[in-house]
Amino acid sequence: MPEFTVEMSVRDYECDLQARVNNAVYQNYLEHARHLFLTSRGIDFAALTASGIHVMVVRAELDYRRSLRPGDRFKVHLHTERVSRLRMAFVQRIELIDSGAMVLDARFIVAAVNAKGKPCVVPQLEVLLDD
């Protein structure tokens, strides 16, 4: 499956007193990209949850390379990987649009539970895996 990419830009209110994006904001960018990716593949995250399937992040790894600043335009790249029968990873990176400079590398491991709270395979997500 080809890599998914979305463009975004830093908003002033996302920055701290040093005029750099606050570290927690990067997770918002990455989650937004994951949701856009799912939508682009025809997966309605809210409908999945309403059906009793709860997909959740069980591990987050973020390696910060440089800071984003107000007005920076950047791309979030994403692809998926199988971790195990019940887990998958969203592998993401952020880079500046103008220079291509690497900003962040991230890996989010997700798993799902059914309405009874038991781990489960989600067929809708299986088709997203880059096996």
- Unique residue bearing structure tokens 């887990």: 87
Q: What letter would DSSP give residue 21?
A: B
**φ and ψ at 43, to 5 degrees?**
-105, 120
Mean pLDDT of 74-80: 97
Quickly list DSSP for 110-123: EEEE-TTS-B---H
More confident residue, 53 or 130: 53
Task: Classify 31 as helix, strand or coil.
Answer: helix
Instruction: Pick the catalytic residue from 16, 44, 63, 130.
Output: 16
Active site residue 12: no
110 and 43 Cβ atoms separated by less than 8 Å:
no
Domain boundaries along the sequence of the chain: 4-126
Whether the pLDDT of residue 130 is over 70: the answer is no
The pLDDT of 28-44, averaged and rounded, is: 94
Mean pLDDT, range 78-82, rounded to an integer? 95
The CATH number of domain 4-126 is 3.10.129.10: yes
User: What H or E segment, with its residue span, contains residue 37?
Assistant: helix 23-40
In this prediction the pTM is 0.92
Q: Confidence band (pLDDT; 50, 70, 90) for 131? A: low
Whether 5 shows a pLDDT value over 60: the answer reads yes
The yes-or-no verdict on residue 58 having pLDDT over 80 is yes
Q: Residue 1 pLDDT more than 70?
A: no
